Chain A
Amino acid sequence: MSVVEVLFGLLGVVALGSALLVVTTRHLVHAALWLVVTLGSIAGCYLLLSAEFVAWVQVLIYVGAVVVLLLFGLMLTRAPIGASNELDSSRGQRLAAAITAAGTAAVLVTSLVDAFHGEHIDLSDDRVAGSSRTVGQAVFRGWVLPFEVLSLLLLAALVGAIVLSRRDISAGPELTRSQETGR
């Protein structure tokens, strides 16, 4: 058991534990914070796997932007502060969800163990596989077209988000009517 493996195991436990807390806690805001912990430990795992760039991008985007957005969403939708019993679905639904999740886990674990039992990742190479230099070279040489398409996707998402949430852009007579009567 090398140092890397031990660290990875610890980080994995932390990630799983906080993920469980995300999906089971009764405090809504706490769930967002536990999500931060999970994302952070995943970033740590990336580091241990020598994927540096991905790790920092994870921290930057996920922890920095996504979680902030989630918190904004919680604020704007008047999320209940403190413990709330309304966060989970009905008992039957939870049971069905647990069974499905357990089933998925079982299938994935058994098939993966069966397939990749005894395989090792070789981390002994001097060259860092995931440094910024190598990733940058890969992206801007091999993957430049998908990169550009992705920027268009971001543009579309941006426009869409603005259109959906602005109140002064009217979408048509029926919708404005229902907006007026729905209030």
Chain B
Amino acid sequence: MPLLMPVLLASLLFSIGIYGVLARRNAILVLMSVELMLNGVNLNFVAFDVYLRDKLLSGQVFTLFLITVAAAEIGLGLAIVLLVFRNRESSQLDELRDLREEDDPPARDQVADDEQAVAS
């Protein structure tokens, strides 16, 4: 079969996975989208392995490894999501705003606060 078929399929799966990562609010849905991306990559590996008739079968072996890593990752990822859910009562990514920069920078006060904290 033409090489382009599996390869294009893999690219499209990857792009759909990107859309899912960026556009879904629920953390678990984001993890699902990451799985989509990984599957696209896997398909790409296998397709090229078969095309190149690799003696070492490196593409397929890599795919196996990738599946394993994906499984490990999803285990840990879910543990983190659970922790976050426990602490914040929400699994919506929008509501995790600790990285936000406030409009009024407390620059001057921070120094004074640090000094007070040290003194006290």
Contact = CB atoms under 8 A, between A and B. Distances in A.
Judged by CB atoms under 8 Å, the answer to whether A and B touch is yes
Interface stretch (B60-68, B96-104, B111-119): B60-68
B31 to A, nearest CB: 7
Given A5-B1, A61-B67, A121-B47, A109 B75 contact: no
Contacts of B26: 28, 79, 86-87
B43 A62 contact: no
Nearest to A53: B60
A53 B15 CA distance: 26
Contact of A70 (B15, B31, B53, B65): B31
A98 B20 CA distance: 9
Contacts of A123: 1, 50
Given A70-B74, A76-B82, A117 B22 contact: no
Interface residues of B, number: 73
A65 B46 CA distance: 21
A72 B78 contact: yes
Interface in B68-106: 68-76, 78-83, 85, 87-88, 91-94
Contact of A23 (B19, B42, B70): B19
Contacts of A160: 76, 79
Interface of A: 2, 4-5, 8-9, 12, 15-16, 19-20, 22-23, 28, 31-32, 35, 38-39, 42, 45-46, 49-51, 53-54, 57-58, 61-62, 65-66, 69-70, 72-74, 76-79, 86-90, 93-94, 96-98, 100-102, 104-105, 108-109, 112-113, 116-123, 125, 129-130, 134-135, 138-139, 142-143, 146-147, 150, 153-154, 156-158, 160-161, 164-165, 178-179, 182
